[in-house]
Amino acid sequence: MAIEYRTSPGAPLTNDLVRELRKDFPILDRTVNGNALTYLDTGATSQNPLQVLDAEREYYLGANSAVHRGAHTLAVDATDAFEDARRTVAGFINAAETELVWTSNATEALNLLTYSFANASQGIGGHDAARFALGEGDEIVTTEQEHHANIIPWQILAERTGATLRYIPVTDEGLIDYEAAQTIVSDRTRVLTFTHVSNVAGSVTDVEMLVSLARKVGAITVLDACQSVPHMPVDVKKLGVDFAAFSAHKMLAPTGIGALYGRNELLEAMPPFLTGGSMITKVTMNEAQWMPAPIKFEAGTQRVSQAVAWAAAVRYLDHLGMDQVHAWEAHLGQLLAEGIAEIPGIRLIGPAAGQPRAGLAAFHVEGVHPHDVGQLLDEKGIAVRVGHHCAQPLHRALGLTASTRASAYIYNTTEDIERFVDQLSTVRAYFGY
Amino acid sequence: MSGLEQLYQQIILEHSKQRTGEGLIEAEGKRAASNHQYNPTCGDEINLRVILKDQEEVIESISWEGNGCSISMAAASVLSEMAPGMTTQEFQALVDDFREMLRSRGTVEPDEEVLGDAAAFAGVSRFVARVKCAMLSWVAAEEAAKEASA
């Protein structure tokens, strides 16, 4: 099926162009409490364009069958679609197709890593896997800025292996303290894991700096790329990280699928996490031999239709051009930051207005709980996220229990941001401040 | 009244700022119990103490410290104002009525004679995501009252 796009490839995003794009997203036409929907919660999950939904439907209508098995034509077509999707998604971050493992979501990707490391620590995977084995005296370093998905798996791994989990602290603005990082990363550091873009602060991490710290001490680097891959050009080779996790539903595709990137050499050496059907070559009553990566990590029936849909989302984004996506979102991010910062009694979290930030902004309204802020905005049809955004340690460091976050994407206009800022400016008065 | 006005009744907005019962009352030597409730979705929490009178099954005071939205703070305040002087049985009946109203999705007309200021939370029942906010302190008080009289 030839896919049709409404705009010419790589055209700069403008309000007019975004209005055209919005026709691909029928959900954005619905009303909420009698108002047009203003969707500013892409940081939590994005909306899917027709091209993506159609791709998934086409797959089910024309090729659905079991992949990597069976000799019939449908099985071949399904396997082709599945592996083409892998090439497409891997190519999007400049990885080889053998370097991309499908997972249920980014959380599972990070758990895959930590459980594989735990297996290696118990001797599974033999000599090759010893480089992933952790024990007493070893340190895993993460940051106080992380999403819980990049904290708890490492807590469990530390508990299981006797390694110590350490944190690079954040500054008063909620930004990674790079000076502290230099003393925390040491010869004992075996893993350094960090987010690329903070889902709360909206800051972009200096990956180059942290990767160079890790390399000096021979530590494995892990990047949480959930908030970067959907929004900016990401080249894992240029960044030089060993592993990266990201997910489809934050980039115009359905829920249920995520991915782990790992350098070929590392994926080959790493023992599997989930085991069972599909991931083996030879099985006896006592043991099994594994397929090469990435199939080694993909036990059981895979998420074929979601992979196909994700590839369609990648093509949609490629058509827009990630440089253009990034430029538009940087613009929207600035408008958000400026608008929020100008309202009295509201504290902007993360980089100050005018400083580089992603297309999202979290903030604290003095005297008014985020739930109440979100409720008032919802009354006007404006969807934002309220709560701790799965980043309790970061909120604690900021002296907060929760915050409100607006996050934009390719389907948001500058008018969306203005409508949001206008409503936000009425919130404190409503609650008597 | 718009949906929002039903949710944020004046009584609720006032109680959320002028809070009754905030600050834990010392319970040494008294028949008392404390309970902690936490809402993991928003991080709201409350630490609440029920003190009973010496010889009777009557609530002497409810005091609390907590952090939360206007609905949860106002609910704790209204509770602390209404409960003192009630027998533990009367209090349990009040909690049951309050819970029934909140779970009704707007179908139960509150009896103001029974519920008093707590009737102002009727509008919350239409906002399913906020029912937990209103119940947080009431659940804490229900548990603490049971424990204190046990």
CB within 8 Å: B42 and A33: no
Say yes or no to pLDDT of A350 above 90: yes
Residues A312 and A325 both lie in one domain: no
Among the three residues A318, A345, A380, which one is the final residue of a domain in this structure? A318
Q: Is any Cβ of chain A less than 8 angstroms from the Cβ of B71?
A: yes
A52 falls in which pLDDT band (50, 70, 90)? very high
Q: What is the gyration radius of the CA atoms in chain B, in angstroms?
A: 14
pLDDT of residue B106: 84
- Locate the chain B residue with the closest alpha carbon to A387: B42
pTM above 0.90, yes or no: yes
Residues A351 and A418 both lie in one domain: yes
Mean per-residue pLDDT, A84-91: 98
- The highest-confidence range among A231-235, B8-12, B103-107, by mean pLDDT, is A231-235
Phi-psi category of A211—alpha, beta or left, where left has phi over 0 and alpha has psi -120 to 50?
Answer: alpha
Q: Hey, is A32 helix, strand or coil?
A: strand
To probe the interface with B, which of A148, A368, A369 has the most B CB atoms within 10 Å?
Answer: A369
* Residue A332: domain span: 15-48+321-430
Q: What percent of chain A has pLDDT over 70?
A: 100
Nearest to A401 among B4, B67, B130 (CB): B67
Q: Is any Cβ of chain A less than 8 angstroms from the Cβ of B13?
A: yes
CB within 8 Å: A379 and B16: no
**Residue A7 placed within a domain:** no
**Residue A203 placed within a domain:** yes
Distance from C-alpha of A163 to C-alpha of B21, rounded to nearest angstrom? 46
pLDDT of residue A68: 87
Count Cβ atoms below 10 Å from residue A354 Cβ, excluding itself.
Answer: 10
Nearest to A432 among B17, B73, B127 (CB): B17
Number of domains in chain A: 2
**Residue A4 placed within a domain:** no
Residues A269 and A294 both lie in one domain: yes
Say yes or no to pLDDT of A1 above 60: no
Q: Which of residues 74-113 of B touch A (CB under 8 A)?
A: none
Please list the active-site residues of A: 390
A2 falls in which pLDDT band (50, 70, 90)? low
Q: Which residues of B touch A376 (CB under 8 A)?
A: 4
Residues A295 and A417 both lie in one domain: no
**Residue A120 placed within a domain:** yes
Residues A311 and A338 both lie in one domain: no
Instruction: List all residues 6 or more positions away from A127 whose beta carbon is below 8 Å from its beta carbon.
Output: none
Nearest to A387 among B2, B41, B45 (CB): B41
CB within 8 Å: A368 and B7: no
DSSP state of A341: H
CB within 8 Å: B3 and A379: yes
Smallest Cα distance from B113 to chain A, Å: 28
Q: Tell me the pLDDT of chain A averaged across its residues.
A: 96
**Of B62, B8, B72, B7, the residue nearest B38 (C-alpha):** B72
pLDDT of residue B57: 94
Say yes or no to pLDDT of B70 above 70: yes
Q: Is any Cβ of chain A less than 8 angstroms from the Cβ of B17?
A: yes
Distance from C-alpha of A353 to C-alpha of A346, rounded to nearest angstrom? 13
CB within 8 Å: A375 and B130: yes
pLDDT of residue B1: 61
Q: Is any Cβ of chain A less than 8 angstroms from the Cβ of B124?
A: no
Q: Is any Cβ of chain A less than 8 angstroms from the Cβ of B20?
A: no
Residues A138 and A254 both lie in one domain: yes
Q: How far is CA B59 from CA A103, A376, B147, in A?
A: 54, 36, 12
- Locate the chain B residue with the closest alpha carbon to A365: B69
pLDDT of residue A3: 79
pLDDT of residue B2: 73
Nearest to B43 among A375, A387, A432 (CB): A387
Q: Which residues of A touch B76 (CB under 8 A)?
A: none
What's the pLDDT tens digit per position in A261-298?
999 999 999 999 999 998 999 999 999 999 999 999 99
Residues A235 and A87 both lie in one domain: yes
CATH number for the domain harbouring residue A217: 3.40.640.10
- Please say whether the beta carbons of A377 and A424 come within 8 A: yes
Residues A207 and A159 both lie in one domain: yes
B55 falls in which pLDDT band (50, 70, 90)? confident
pLDDT of residue A108: 98
pLDDT of residue B6: 85
Among the three residues A318, A346, A378, which one is the final residue of a domain in this structure? A318
Distance from C-alpha of A378 to C-alpha of A420, rounded to nearest angstrom? 10
**Of A252, A260, A261, A257, the residue nearest A303 (C-alpha):** A257
What's the pLDDT tens digit per position in A132-178?
999 999 999 999 999 999 999 999 999 999 999 999 999 999 999 99
CB within 8 Å: B13 and A432: yes
CATH code of B3-149, in short, is 3.90.1010.10
Smallest Cα distance from B69 to chain A, Å: 5
To probe the interface with A, which of B8, B9, B14, B124 has the most A CB atoms within 10 Å?
Answer: B8
What is the count of residue pairs from A and B with beta carbons less than 8 Å apart? Answer: 51
Residues A108 and A132 both lie in one domain: yes
Q: Which residues of A touch B69 (CB under 8 A)?
A: 369-372
